[in-house]
A and B are shown apart, each in its own frame.
Chain A
Amino acid sequence: MSQPTVEAASAVPAEARILTYAEALNEALRLEMRRDPRVFVMGEDVAVWGGGGVFGVTRGLLEEFGPQRVRDTPISEEAIAALAVGAAMAGMRPVAEFMYADFMTLAMEPIVNQAAKIRYMFGGKARVPVVFRAQEGAGRGNAAQHSQSLEAWFCHVPGLKVVTPSTPADAKGLLIAAIRDGNPVVFLEHKVLYTTKGPVPPGEYTVPLGVADCKREGRDVTCVGIHTMVHKALAAAEILAREGIELEVIDPRTLVPLDLDTIVASVRKTGRLIVTHEAVERAGFGAEIIAQVTSAAFDALDAPPVRVCGKNVPVPYSAPLEAAALPQVDDIVAAARKLVA
């Protein structure tokens, strides 16, 4: 399948090493667990079984931190989420892993009704500093129940922060920021991105939640992409550049809080907006971005904003059909050409 190969991250120092997205996340967990004894990880197969998670993000943590802080759980997403909420309220800093974001649907009660509401309902006297990690997305032939992108579900719940890193460097810095945040953070990784590589600065650093990153500058069209679509947008930008069309690629990095200012500044420059994500178009987060940009910068728009998103269907198992259901590089190229026509 079309795995992104672009290795891009902004402003990385010279001593940065090339790591995979999974290795960068592993490094973030390791550094935070060394720094803060309250931090622990839990989830299905994160410790013994599977040897560090199905994608290897927790690999080696059991050996370094022991079974008290690296805990396998039963196959019950509700239990994982509820235990993490309770531990967080009791003063721990749990990082709870869901093997597939699809099955966070089983854990919505503790996440939506408990984690998101407790600080508010107790007048700030209780806090829930928990990170719910999961991977979402399609592109690996995992079919309809293991390929969804459900970030919009969580964005709809006041009290949750939602993070969607697209590069190894961002993944590490954002995860450290999420663990230190003090509020419930839904940290959504992407299964196709785990093996992608990029320069990652050594040591502790944070990428603040709520700060978007311009992955490529351009004059003609703003393209806001999430997860893999950042890389597809960068590939589209290469093709468009040969035609003299400059695509500016913005990665919001966190959807809640959303860095609207950076997106609006870009749209004020280009006058044209594409929003692209794998999640189905209908009621997807792209609609939210477009609505906010339209309200904030109606006068800046030179064309109606366009969504390049997943089709409104379950993700098919068949590889050609899966590719057809997902937004592709060519779709972004075509949308940009039409916008500047």
Chain B
Amino acid sequence: MATPVLLPKLGLTQDEGTVVRWLRPEGSRVTKGEPLFEVLTEKATLEVESPATGVLLRILVPEGATVPVATPIAVIGEPGEEIPPAPGAGVSVAPAAGAASPAVEGSAAPGAPPSPPRGRVRISPRARALAEAAGLDVSTLVGTGPDGRIVERDVQRALEERAARGGAAPAAQPAPASPAASAGVSARMRAVIARRMVESLRESAQLTLTTEVDMAEAARMRDEVAPELERREGVRPTYTDLVIRATALALREHPAVNARWEGEGIRRLEEIHIGVAVALDEGLLVPVLRHADRMSLAQIARAVRELSERARALRLRPEEMQGSTFTVTNLGMYEIDAFTPILNPPESGILGVGRVVRRPVAVGERVEVRPTVVLSLTFDHRVVDGAPAAQFLQRVKHILEHPYLLLLP
């Protein structure tokens, strides 16, 4: 019995994916569990294992083609076995990339291979009925109802956004063929960023505090410690790493900032997971340092470097971009001094790091030239008031100006 290989659903909001690369050629023998192909989702490239042992009889979707989730993309069986016709009434997805159009209807057709079990989407019957009537894929929606359920207003909002984009139903859009794959991921990432940023500004009460930090001591410490760390651990801590470490320590002492607004009240979060914004040509990703307050400076430096490299290669796993409780974002490399970062929902705080630059500073009665940096803290006033937010920022500043505190456990 031939086994179809289906395009997997790897993220909660994923509705389609691009086959980046087949790791085994047609006709080769494959073993269940071995890596078979790479797929590009909204934000990352992932390796997918073969679902069966046998011969890769036919590759149905070529590299570079984008197809809906649960579309058969290959067939595994024994030599000479009959390849079942692709579902979707004569839509041959085979080598012609342009034919990779909506096979989404086919997945529901009788006789179609069973779809992989869909993650249960929490959605009200009313919202589901509305979404189905409008041809909207409910798995792409974010729920704002009780317990995160998708309710009518979420569907209405998605429909308004779709109307604003001038977009038709997703099913009506032809799937982009090969070279457009990167344009595809870019458009999808753009849509996610657009939705989340507007949502952030609409749903929370944001304001930004700034303070200037004298980095002379931090620079001295980094210059002394960096060569040693590089020799022993193979990493050089950056100023961003220092700020992340200082932020994690300060969050531990100011749990009010490590919290979120949940419908009727504030929920303080036990764990400190710091998101680090990484700019890409196509957009922006925020990989997460889990339990950042328990990481040494060297561990932070190594993790940030490793995660940003994989972010730029679009090779982060979805779970590596989830669960952050606070974000650090740096525009210093673009000669930016201060800015007003937008909260990364549902977080209540984001720290913007400007450039470290030598500036004239009053030291007692004298003017000295010292390296300084401006930190910009955006916080959610529903969760934190001005004074405690300021105290938190003050603590970050204090740690950076007394950088040996960064070395304490």
Question: Chain A nearest CB: distance from B229 CB in Å?
Answer: 49
Question: Chain B nearest CB: distance from A291 CB in Å?
Answer: 15
* B264 part of interface (Cβ distance < 8 Å): yes
A51 to B151, CA, bound (A): 57
Chain A residues with Cβ below 8 Å from B129 are: 299-300
A39 to B146, CA, bound (A): 54
Residue pairs across A and B with Cβ atoms less than 8 A apart, 30 shown, are A271-B124, A271-B126, A271-B152, A298-B125, A299-B125, A299-B126, A299-B128, A299-B129, A300-B125, A300-B126, A300-B129, A301-B124, A301-B125, A301-B126, A302-B124, A302-B125, A302-B126, A302-B127, A302-B145, A302-B151, A302-B152, A303-B124, A303-B145, A303-B146, A303-B151, A338-B146, A339-B146, A341-B145, A341-B263, A341-B264
14 further contact pairs, Cβ within 8 A, besides A271-B126, A271-B152, A338-B146: A271-B124, A299-B125, A299-B126, A300-B125, A300-B126, A300-B129, A301-B126, A302-B124, A302-B126, A302-B151, A302-B152, A303-B146, A341-B146, A341-B264
Chain B residues with Cβ below 8 Å from A299 are: 125-126, 128-129
Chain A residues with Cβ below 8 Å from B152 are: 271, 302
A298 to B264, CA, bound (A): 27
Chain B residues with CB under 8 Å of chain A are: 124-129, 145-146, 149, 151-152, 263-264
Chain A residues with CB under 8 Å of chain B are: 271, 298-303, 338-339, 341
A301 to B151, CA, bound (A): 9
A299 to B125, CA, bound (A): 5
Query: Considering only CB atoms, which chain B residue lies closest to A298 in the complex?
Result: B125
Chain B residues with Cβ below 8 Å from A341 are: 145-146, 263-264
Query: Considering only CB atoms, which chain B residue lies closest to A339 in the complex?
Result: B146
Chain A residues with Cβ below 8 Å from B128 are: 299
- Which of B124, B128, B129, B146 has the most CB atoms of chain A within a 10 A radius of its CB? B124
Chain A residues with Cβ below 8 Å from B263 are: 341
Query: Considering only CB atoms, which chain B residue lies closest to A341 in the complex?
Result: B263
Query: Considering only CB atoms, which chain A residue lies closest to B123 in the complex?
Result: A302
Question: Chain A nearest CB: distance from B155 CB in Å?
Answer: 10
Query: Considering only CB atoms, which chain B residue lies closest to A337 in the complex?
Result: B264
Question: Chain B nearest CB: distance from A24 CB in Å?
Answer: 39
Chain A residues with Cβ below 8 Å from B124 are: 271, 301-303
Chain A residues with Cβ below 8 Å from B146 are: 303, 338-339, 341
Chain B residues with Cβ below 8 Å from A302 are: 124-127, 145, 151-152
